Structure 1
Amino acid sequence: MNASEVEAHLLIVDDDERIRTLLKKFLMRNGFLVSAARDAVHARKLLNGLEFDLIVLDVMMPGEDGISLTASLRGQIATPVLLLTARGETEDRIAGLEAGADDYLAKPFEPRELLLRINAILRRMPGEARLDTGPKMLSLGPVRYDVERAELWSGERAVRLTATEVALMKIFAAHAGEPLSRARLVEELGREGDIAQERAVDVQITRLRRKIETDPRQPRYLQTIRGEGYMLTPD
């Protein structure tokens, strides 16, 4: 990381002190500012006083679990969340994505993989290089999406988007009217292509439809094209 770049500030939330210490040391060696919390209560105290660029959050914690905390935070802040889940707990991963998490990583994991996931999420955040192709404003019935500002508006009300939802809207805006396969979306999001990630994209699409469609069960703007994938069709 260049000295001229602003260091991203990460929050690690895990009840295992050994994991907190190891991750904090590893991520600091890789150029991040890192704070750590032992549980949801501790995390909320830190979040009340500090702004973070990304939260790495363990699902299984005593007291309030990571999924509940993610859902609660989504009503207040748009900070991206990367969940740490137990290997094989598919339900936790899907529930986490539905709650508003941006990605997940199964334990045990290699620290280098965590670093790659963190960097991929941070690259998707608003403020990075904008897409120069496609329209600058998308009209989706009563909803409009400002491509350059990565902002979704319903009338005069701003609608919160996760980092992954912002990334998906950028991709769809650049390819409006063009069907995009799940595999293509996974690739554009900078993730490893596998069935689990394609299922994760399906969950993100479902969440996005709730924010842009009048009737998410019968989508008008973010359509499913049988055998091809998804397509954004603005007015």
Structure 2
Amino acid sequence: MTDICFTEDAPHILLVDDDARLAALAGRYLSENGFRVTRAASAAEARVKLRAMEFDLMVLDVMMPGESGLDLTGSLRAERAPAMPILLLTARDTPEDVLAGFEAGADDYLGKPFDPRVLVARLRAMLRRAQPPTATTGPLKLGEASFDSGRGELIGPNSRIRLTGAELALLTTLAAHPHEVFSREALAATLGLDDVNERAIDVQVTRLRRKIEPDPREPRFLQTVRGKGYVLKPGP
């Protein structure tokens, strides 16, 4: 069943988990720490909530009956839904499982069981990354696209290109220092990932290339520097 807890003027979180006890405990803790929480017990119920309300972030269990959290994440990204940050909760936290989550479009993950204080810290960090930068700079040309870091917008030849929170954080960091090589460690720190998940940076880079490169297999703008990391080279 759905349980909605309200905290005035708070970030609105959609918490999706079929474990009623865990969801109740997590929802209560989040509410006590300044979040407005709406619960859903399945991906189908989450879709209903997403159509009816606006959310700042989704916390989504991976292993659920019916449509999994991983499938729901991939579906929402494929539908070009608003790029709401998504944190996956999973008892399967091998590197392969984590990378599959990032490939589907998740912004972060947290293994079960988890410390609720860590969940709160992760959510606050994700919300900070999702906010457009306060500093305003001129748009950066990336072929037919342009990135305005001040507005946090990637504009294609015909329309705005949606970015996930993690993609926006990654592109903003690289765009702030074009032609400078960033190690995976540095980029992982920017996205709030721990050292174990530096390989997740490769997944985010691959996703970002699909949105800015004419041919992602032969990147012109977001290039790999062998043995060092990645560099953004803007241009026409």
Q: Same fold (TM over 0.5)?
A: yes
| C-alpha distance in 1 between matches for 2:26 and 2:39 | 9
What is the match of residue 234 of structure 2? 234
What is the match of residue 60 of structure 1? 63
Q: Is 1:119 equivalent to 2:132 in the alignment?
A: no
Q: Is 1:130 equivalent to 2:134 in the alignment?
A: yes
What is the match of residue 205 of structure 1? 205
Any stretches of 5+ residues in structure 1 without a counterpart? none
| C-alpha distance in 1 between matches for 2:22 and 2:124 | 20
Q: Is 1:31 equivalent to 2:34 in the alignment?
A: yes
What is the match of residue 53 of structure 2? 50
Runs of 4+ in 1 over 6 A off after TM superposition: none
Q: Identify which of 96, 102, 121 aligns with 1:97.
A: 102
Q: Is 1:77 equivalent to 2:78 in the alignment?
A: no
Deviation digits for residues 35-87 of structure 1 (CA, Å, limit 9, x no counterpart): 00000011011110100000000010000001111111122221110001224
Q: Identify which of 158, 161, 175 aligns with 2:160.
A: 158
What is the match of residue 8 of structure 1? 11
* Structure 2 SS opposite 1:148: coil
What is the match of residue 190 of structure 2? 188
Taking only the aligned residue pairs, the percentage that are identical comes to 53
| C-alpha distance in 2 between matches for 1:43 and 1:190 | 26
Asked if 2 retains the 8 angstrom alpha-carbon contact of 1:39 and 1:62, the reply is: yes
- When normalised by structure 2's length, the TM-score is 0.91
- Give the residue type in structure 1 aligned to 2:183: S
- Give the residue type in structure 2 aligned to 1:136: G
* Structure 2 SS opposite 1:165: helix
Deviation digits for residues 6-38 of structure 1 (CA, Å, limit 9, x no counterpart): 310001000100111001000000010000000
Change in CA separation of 1:182 and 1:131 when aligned onto 2, cut-off 3 Å: farther
Change in CA separation of 1:6 and 1:105 when aligned onto 2, cut-off 3 Å: same
- Give the residue type in structure 2 aligned to 1:81: I
Asked if 2 retains the 8 angstrom alpha-carbon contact of 1:131 and 1:174, the reply is: no
* Structure 1 SS opposite 2:111: strand
- Give the residue type in structure 2 aligned to 1:207: R
Shift of 1:190: 3.2
What is the match of residue 4 of structure 2? none
| C-alpha distance in 2 between matches for 1:160 and 1:95 | 20
Deviation digits for residues 160-207 of structure 1 (CA, Å, limit 9, x no counterpart): 100011111110111111000011111222333x132x0111111110
What is the match of residue 24 of structure 2? 21
Aligned length: 226
Shift of 1:136: 2.2
Any stretches of 5+ residues in structure 2 without a counterpart? 1-7
Shift of 1:144: 1.1
What is the match of residue 151 of structure 2? 149
What is the match of residue 139 of structure 1? 141
Change in CA separation of 1:200 and 1:54 when aligned onto 2, cut-off 3 Å: same
